[in-house]
Structure 1
Amino acid sequence: MFSSRSKAERTTAQAWDYLSSAMTAAGDTAQELGGHTADAAARFADQAGRIADRAGRRGENLGKRGQKLAGKAQKRGRKLAKKANKRGTALAGVASDKADVAWSRANAAADALAGRKRRPWGLLLGAGLLGGAVGFAAAGAMRAAKEREAETHELEMAGNTVIVTPSYDE
């Protein structure tokens, strides 16, 4: 009845089990959804192509008007197949993005449960780059100020100099 583990340890173990099963299920679901989406788009594109081909063959037997209608059907079938393929690709991309987000969240939760602290590397890198840029700008400003100071000093010295010319008295 009484366990040697504390309530916090039991809760953590239970949360870990739930998280593990959720991560596995999320991965399986995302993989399955992506496969179904791609399969559905391929089936729809194949079906539209078959219908268009059948209409084209029937149009050859029906004369000029039938050929015209078959051509339109073929064109429309290709359009629908292209649209289905595009839509299937988009849906697969959305499913993949959602799976990536779910996976990263699950990993963050797993790290939190395991007691690992995640480092905000993006924030640290951004702060380092910002500090480097500020330091570079400050160094440039200091160099410009020193150059202006040197020019001012040179001008002052040029203004204070006395030029002595020898006189040639004969």
Structure 2
Amino acid sequence: MFAKKNRTERTAEEAWEHLSSAWASAGDSAGKAGRQGRRLASRAGDRVTSVTDEALIRATAAADALAGRRPGRPWALIAGVGLLGAALGWVAATTARAALERQAENEEIELAETAVVVTPTYDDH
């Protein structure tokens, strides 16, 4: 009745151990960063804060992944790309319309220049 753990369970346990360790080290880093930040210049404090923030973001993402939650969609990026695409489409349509108008004008001028006017003559015999 003692079933061996399957590969998925072992992987989940290892991931949880790594996550717990990362979370703990992020907390330790935050504490150390707070103490060192007061003693060091603002440049060093900013660097430590950014590293701590990155560790916290990664640990949170790992916890969400282990819990089965998917990351949110970057709606601002999607909207920005959509607006950029709309602007580029408008520019392309305007340019194509102007090119077609120029082509039509040129064809009309060419037809006018090469047109042969035939006038009928009436001979009274």
Report the TM-score when normalising by structure 2: 0.62
Q: Give the number of equivalent residue pairs.
A: 115
Structural RMSD (CA)? 3.6
Looking at both structures, which has the greater relative contact order when contacts are Cα pairs under 8 Å and sequence separation is at least 6? Answer: 1
Aligned equivalent of 2:66 = 113
Q: Which shows bigger deviation, 6-15 or 124-133?
A: 124-133
Whether the 8 Å contact between 1:12 and 1:113 is mirrored in structure 2 is yes
Amino acid at match of 2:89: G
What residue ranges of structure 1 are gaps of 5+ in the alignment?
A: 42-87, 165-170
Deviation at 1:117, TM superposition (A): 4.3
Amino acid at match of 1:101: E
What residue ranges of structure 2 are gaps of 5+ in the alignment?
A: 120-125
Amino acid at match of 1:13: E
Which has the greater radius of gyration? 1
Aligned equivalent of 1:142 = 96
Distance 1:157 1:119 in 2: 61
Report the TM-score when normalising by structure 1: 0.49
Deviation at 1:95, TM superposition (A): 0.3
Amino acid at match of 1:98: V
Q: Which has the larger helix fraction?
A: 1
Distance 1:103 1:10 in 2: 24
Identity of aligned residues (%): 41
Whether the 8 Å contact between 1:33 and 1:95 is mirrored in structure 2 is no
Distance 2:103 2:57 in 1: 56
